[in-house]
Every structure is written in C-alpha cells, then in structure tokens.
C-alpha cells in the first residue's frame, strides 16, 4: 500500500478513548516468547490511510468490507464470522464473508475476489500466516487497508493493523492453572505432564505455547514436572490444522509408550479445545489412571460439556462478541479517514515491522465459573450445554 500522508489525522484522543475496551489490555501485558521476541528497534508499521485511490467509503457509514475466515470446521470461526457480519451490517456496511475450508488457495482466491469486487477494508483470519503475501500486494496497490484478525499475517507490509486476544497471556493462564492446581510451589511431586499445541503455521500457536512454557519450564528444569514422552519442543508437540484427530493419534502413541502400565499422568497442556478434545478422546479409550488436568481454549460447546463432565479442567474464554465489536470500531475509524484504535505497538512483528495491534484480555472458565461467564452473559444457553 502506498504510504501517503493523511490529510486530516484523527487526534490521539481516539486511541486513548478506546483503550478501555476488551479488558484494558495494555502493551505492557504482552511479552512475546523469547524465541519469537520482536526486535525492540523494529519500526512500527505505518497505518495506511484511506485515500482517493482506495475504494470509496461514505464518511457517514456504508462501503463494503471483506471478511475472510479460515474454516467452518471449528466452532469459534463460525461465531467470529457471524458476530462480525452482524455488527458490521448494523453499522451500515455491506459484508462479504467467506470461509476457506482450511485450503490456502481457496482463501487466496476469496481475498482476490474481495479486492476486485470493491471492498474498502479487508479483515483476514489467515489459514497460514506466510501464505498471503502475493495476494495482499494487490490490496496494497489499491490502497485497501488490511486488518489481520486473531492470527497475525506474516512477512507482508500490506498488513495495517492486528486485532486479537492477548495470545501470550492465553498460554500464561493455561500454565498458571496447571501450576496452581498441582500446587507445584509446595507439593513434593514429581508430576507427569504431556504437551500439545497447535498448527505450526499459525503464529499464535507459538505465543500460546511460549506463554505456558514460561510458567512451566522452571518446574520441568527442576524435575518437579516430568514429560515422560520427552516431547517438549514446539515442532514436535505442534498439531497440524489444530486437528482433533491428529492430537488424538499422537496421544494414543504417548499413552501406549509411557502410561499403559498404569503410570499416572497428572496434567496435559493443550493449547486449544480441538486439541484438548483429541487428548480427552485418547485418554478415554486408552488410559486407566486418575484423570489428569487438561487445559484448552475457546470454550467450544463439546469442551464445555467435557468440563461439566470432569473430562476437561478449563478453557480460555475469548468472547468473540468483544473482539468483533472492537474490529467494527477499527473498520469504522478507517472508513471515515482516520486511524484505527490500538493499545499495543511493541509486541507483534510480522517480519516487516511492528504491526499496531488491539489486544483483548482473555479469561479462563472452569467448573466454578462457567455459568457466569458463558450462560449468564448470553454466550450460550443452558440447552446448548445439555
């Protein structure tokens, strides 16, 4: 996208006024895992301006927004897409919402069609963070701002903003839950743990895993936690496409090799609910010991049901309604010729510079508070979880 000066930049009051949303997650709350820490001196990416060459947008509302989601196979993406479409349409925008069935070329084609059909802003949850550079060059040439949604798009200077939950904090909360419930600071131990994270092409997976391991690694180093499988590095514990079946098959092998003799498994770090479901399915089929702590993320219905049944201990709740509302604010600001509200300009380097970001704060749900978080808030009904 051609870097042009904005004729009238909305004052920083817009940014300050929006910092109160999404749990007030400031930039000081997020630290990238050491292996992925962005260079401190990297320059912040300049937010693109809506200009005369970009598709026209009415300052009073209106215009077309392209929303690209990765798949309908995971419940959370259906909720993200429908929530965003509803809120954007309520704000007066036409919405082109597309799901790509976890196929990279399909997503590339969908985004290309959005660019050529007159979308003024693109909101993209990528399937694979490095796969969109070529098509986003087309958006850059047409001065179409791009908001990376939940998953950071890597190695493209066409990315204008990033909107997500605090991904490092997600992992931190998962690690802290295991630490606290095993009482690692006071219990004698040792305790056995196995690790499962997400798709290696999803940049978020490294933040989730890094946040959790920053909590748990000292206990592994001291011998208080033992990974009997020996599988601890990201590449080994990653799960392609976050697939439940893949996580289940890997856990089958781990149990067969390490826990079939009745050895107790105390905890399973799982970065999201689809991997947690695979681990739980494997345990149910192959494991005879006391049920371990299992973490998750997204509060998918199947995992909340497992939580109620005692088969999953917790899940990080990321209220997609909150994130969708924040993205609508960002789109609206861009459409009206201004800069989108952000609260982090330090943490997320996509390889071309720091991407201005808005981070919403996650919380965890477990058997003690899921009714308040999920039912009383209207996210689910009682009937949904029967």
Summarised one tens digit per residue, pLDDT across range 158-179 is 999 999 999 999 999 999 999 9
The whole domain housing 276 covers 168-297
Beta bridge partners of 365: 315
104 and 208 belong to one structural domain: no
Cis peptide leading into residue 288 (ω within 30°): no
Residues 324-345, mean pLDDT to the nearest whole number: 95
100 and 193 belong to one structural domain: no
Banded model confidence at residue 62, pLDDT cuts 50, 70, 90: confident
pLDDT of the residue at 73: 87
Any domain includes 69: yes
Residue 114 tokens, joined: 């959005």
Domain tally, the chain? 2
Candidates 292, 344, 353, 299; CA nearest to 321 is 299
126 and 232 belong to one structural domain: no
DSSP symbols for 126-192 = -SSTTS-HHHHHHHHHTT--EEEESSPPPS-TT--EEEEE-HHHHHHHHHHHHHHHTTTTT----EE
**Which of helix, strand or coil describes residue 63?**
coil
pLDDT of the residue at 57: 47
CATH code, domain carrying 327:
3.40.50.2300
Residues 119-142, mean pLDDT to the nearest whole number: 94
149 and 174 belong to one structural domain: no
User: Does pLDDT of 326 surpass 50?
Assistant: yes
User: Does pLDDT of 27 surpass 80?
Assistant: no
Residue 40 tokens, joined: 């401190």
Banded model confidence at residue 201, pLDDT cuts 50, 70, 90: confident
Rounded Cα distance between 257 and 10, Å, is 60
31 and 121 belong to one structural domain: yes
147 and 177 belong to one structural domain: no
**H or E stretch at 382:** none
212 and 283 belong to one structural domain: yes
pLDDT of the residue at 61: 54
pLDDT of the residue at 5: 35
258 and 335 belong to one structural domain: no
175 and 271 belong to one structural domain: yes
Any domain includes 262: yes
pLDDT of the residue at 60: 46
243 and 176 belong to one structural domain: yes
Any domain includes 303: no
pLDDT higher for 312 or 18? 312
User: Does pLDDT of 33 surpass 80?
Assistant: no
Confidence (pTM):
0.76
Any domain includes 305: no
Report percent pLDDT > 90 for the chain: 77
pLDDT of the residue at 129: 84
DSSP symbols for 312-366 = --EEEE--HHHHHHHHHHHHHHHHTTSPPP-SBSSS-B-SSSBPPEEEEPPEEEE
In whole angstroms, how far apart are CA 354 and each of 42, 103, 164?
6, 27, 15
Any domain includes 324: yes
231 and 354 belong to one structural domain: no
Any domain includes 220: yes
Any domain includes 381: no
169 close to 211: Cβ distance less than 8 angstroms:
yes
157 and 198 belong to one structural domain: no
pLDDT of the residue at 241: 92
Beta bridge partners of 270: 196
pLDDT digit string (tens) for 251-310? 999 999 999 999 999 999 999 999 999 999 999 999 999 999 999 999 999 999 999 999
pLDDT mean across residues, the chain: 86
CA angle 313, 285, 315 (to 5 degrees): 20
pLDDT of the residue at 271: 98
Any domain includes 202: yes
User: Does pLDDT of 234 surpass 80?
Assistant: yes
pLDDT of the residue at 74: 82
């Amino acid at each position: 996208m051609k870097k042009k000066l904005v004729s009238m930049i909305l004052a920083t009051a817009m940014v300050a006024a929006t910092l109160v949303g999404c749990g007030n997650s400031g930039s000081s709350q997020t630290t990238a895992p050491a292996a992925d820490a962005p260079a401190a001196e990297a320059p912040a990416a300049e937010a693109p301006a809506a200009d005369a060459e970009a598709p026209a947008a009415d300052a009073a509302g209106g215009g077309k927004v392209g929303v690209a989601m990765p798949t309908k196979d995971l419940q959370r993406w259906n909720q993200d897409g429908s929530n965003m479409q509803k809120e954007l349409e309520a704000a007066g925008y036409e919405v082109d919402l597309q799901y790509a069935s976890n196929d990279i070329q399909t997503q590339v084609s969908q985004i290309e069609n959005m660019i050529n059909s007159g979308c003024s802003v693109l909101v993209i949850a990528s399937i694979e963070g490095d796969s969109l550079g070529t098509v986003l060059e087309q958006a850059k040439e047409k001065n179409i701002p791009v908001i990376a949604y939940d998953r950071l798009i890597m190695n493209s200077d066409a990315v204008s903003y990033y909107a997500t939950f605090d991904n490092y904090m997600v992992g931190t909360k998962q690690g802290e839950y295991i630490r606290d419930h095993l009482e690692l600071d006071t219990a004698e131990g040792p305790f056995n743990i196995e690790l499962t994270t997400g798709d290696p092409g999803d940049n978020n997976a490294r933040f989730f895993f890094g946040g959790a391991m920053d909590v748990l690694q000292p206990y592994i180093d001291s011998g208080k936690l033992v990974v009997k499988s020996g599988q601890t590095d990201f590449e080994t514990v990653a799960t392609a496409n976050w697939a439940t079946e893949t996580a289940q098959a890997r856990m089958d092998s781990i149990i067969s090799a390490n826990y079939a003799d009745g050895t107790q498994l105390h905890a399973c770090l799982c970065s999201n609910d689809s991997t947690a479901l695979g681990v739980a399915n494997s345990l149910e089929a192959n494991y005879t010991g006391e049920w371990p702590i299992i973490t998750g993320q997204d509060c998918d219905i199947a995992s909340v049901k497992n939580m109620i049944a005692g088969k999953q201990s917790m899940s990080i709740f990321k209220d997609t309604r909150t994130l969708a509302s924040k993205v609508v604010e960002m789109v609206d600001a861009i459409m009206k010729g201004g800069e989108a509200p952000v609260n982090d300009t330090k943490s997320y380097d996509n390889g071309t510079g720091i991407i201005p970001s808005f981070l919403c704060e996650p919380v965890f749900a477990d058997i003690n508070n899921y009714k308040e978080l999920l039912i009383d808030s209207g996210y689910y009904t009682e009937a949904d979880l029967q």
